[in-house]
Amino acid sequence: MADFKTSPGTRDILSPDSARWRAFQGVFESTVEAAGYDYIIPPMFEDLDVFLRLGEATDVVTKEMYDFHDKGGRHIALRPEQTASVCRAFVEHRPTTPWKVWYSGPNFRYEKPQQGRYRQFDQVGIEALGVDDAFLDAEVIALAAKFYSALGLRKIELSINSLGDSGDRDKYAKKLSEYFAKHESKLTAESKATLLRNPLRVLDSKREPDQEIIIGAPAIRETISNESREHFEAVLSALDALKISYKINDRLVRGLDYYRRTTFEFVSTALEAAHTAIGGGGRYDGLVEALGGPPTAGIGFALGLDRTLLACDAESVFAAPLKEVDVFVVDTVDGTHAHELCHQIRTHGFSADRAYDLRSIKAQMKAADRSGARIALIIGSNEVENESVMLRPMGSGEQYVVPRQDILNEIAKYTIKTNI
Ligand code: AMP
């Protein structure tokens, strides 16, 4: 027999974690919908070309893409992130601007799986297209900060930088290239290879020998235009106005090549070094144009769900919600009473569960405990004869008889109807 297991870098998310994921998405939804962002569901795969626009020098594109030819001969890729898809959707549908959307769902990257790094991982995020206003940059950053705080996270640090516009970035890449070339002999082999592809990426290296050289590297903000500098200052003062603390980090360039001007990253100081980055984003003013649309400003962020939950564990906050059901029906006669009663209870807007296969009363009561029910309704032959049920508030050690026709009123005393 084959021994089937999940593929490396993927996981089954079972209860109670799955309930925690849903609650996480729920908190995100209410945070961003309160700021006017609409839900978008982009497809999980696109023509490879859409993602190539992320920049052919990025690892996500060159090394980590799940791409294949479909039966129609199209070159397809599973999405490694969702910003490119949102921009492609903007070009395809031309919505009125500002277009503010949020998303939640899995992405796929062929990375080396480890704690906090998976091949299928979930992100929640927002994108806002068509507005260049520095207040929007600050709004986007503030929403991420608000979300983290709604989860209960406190040990979060925000780093921010400006990459200037695309001209500035090219000038900087050249300057950096010259600097690293001068110190090439001291760089690690990995960084030497990165240098050939994209000098900016060398700044991401956490390797000790590279760090010594990186510390002396020129900062991008020395090369940025006055316009970009003014924009950056306006973003910072808009953050100050909201009392959002940040650290300016001259070395923050982030993984994807399309970023322009404002770029930011959130780090959890409660996590171990390898996976402290729990979210980030920035402006990508050239991306819509690269996908065939009109010049359009854009800014957004993506927050890693998996890693943010690890940060929640590290701070002991945002536990999985308790499993709950209003009623658990215990039928020791023949199962038909539980069958009909559950149906009646559910039809009237309460939740109900039961045991199957006519287990012993002890086994059924254990199942009632596990279900998180507030009350158990117990039906034995006496109750059938008297057209009643025994109602036991769970954990109280008490029970009392309720006439069958009063059951719904009695249940209502213990629960709040939610889903009529
Ligand atoms: P990025 O799209 O690379 O800017 O990543 C944004 C956030 O997504 C990161 O800060 C991580 O929290 C998360 N993330 C990115 N790649 C992975 C991965 N392979 N596994 C888990 N989380 C990831």
SS3 track for 249-280: CCCCCCCCCCCEEEEEEEEECCCCHHHCEEEE
Residues 302 and 391 both lie in one domain: no
Domain-terminating residue out of 269, 289, 315? 315
CA angle 149, 150, 156 (to 5 degrees): 20
* pLDDT score, position 253: 77
Give the other-Cβ count within 10 Å of 131's Cβ. 18
Q: In whole angstroms, what is the distance from residue 134 CA to residue 229 CA?
A: 11
Domain extent for 347: 327-412
Residues 247 and 367 both lie in one domain: no
Domain-terminating residue out of 315, 347, 369? 315
Residues 249 and 334 both lie in one domain: no
Is the CB of residue 257 less than 8 Å from the CB of residue 58? yes
Provide the number of structural domains found in the chain.
2
C-alpha 280 – ligand 1 centre gap (Å): 8
Q: In whole angstroms, what is the distance from residue 388 CA to residue 319 CA?
A: 39
* pLDDT score, position 62: 78
The pLDDT tens digits along the chain (420 residues) read 678 999 999 999 999 999 999 999 999 999 999 999 999 999 999 999 999 988 776 778 878 999 999 999 999 999 999 999 999 999 999 999 999 999 999 999 999 999 889 999 999 999 999 999 999 999 999 999 999 999 999 999 999 999 888 788 788 888 888 999 899 888 899 888 888 888 888 887 878 888 888 888 888 878 889 999 999 999 999 999 999 999 999 888 765 667 889 999 999 999 987 789 999 999 998 899 999 999 999 999 999 999 999 999 999 999 999 989 999 999 999 999 999 999 999 999 999 999 999 999 999 999 999 999 999 999 999 999 999 999 999 988 899 999 999 999 999 999 865 544
CATH code where residue 69 lies: 3.30.930.10
Which helix H or strand E contains 345, and what residues bound it? helix 336-347
Question: Which tokens go with 11?
Answer: 């996981």
Residues 303 and 361 both lie in one domain: no
Please give the distance of CA 339 from its chain centroid, rounded to a whole number: 39
CATH code where residue 379 lies: 3.40.50.800
Residues 59 and 114 both lie in one domain: yes
80 in contact with ligand 1, CB cutoff 6 A:
no
* pLDDT score, position 152: 98
Residues 311 and 332 both lie in one domain: no
Q: Is residue 239 part of a domain?
A: yes
C-alpha 303 – ligand 1 centre gap (Å): 7
Q: Helix or strand or coil: residue 394?
A: coil
123 in contact with ligand 1, CB cutoff 6 A:
yes
* pLDDT score, position 255: 59
Q: In whole angstroms, what is the distance from residue 103 CA to residue 39 CA?
A: 6
- Best residue among 59, 78, 79, 121 to mutate for probing ligand 1's pocket (most ligand atoms within 8 Å of CB) is 121
b/e string for 333-368 if b means 16 or more Cβ within 10 A? eebebbeebbeebeeebbbbbbbeeebeeeebbebb
* pLDDT score, position 420: 45
Q: Is residue 286 part of a domain?
A: yes
Residues 99 and 229 both lie in one domain: yes
Is the CB of residue 116 less than 8 Å from the CB of residue 271? yes
Q: Is residue 129 part of a domain?
A: yes
Sheet holding 388-393, edge to edge: 352-354, 325-331, 373-379, 388-393, 400-403
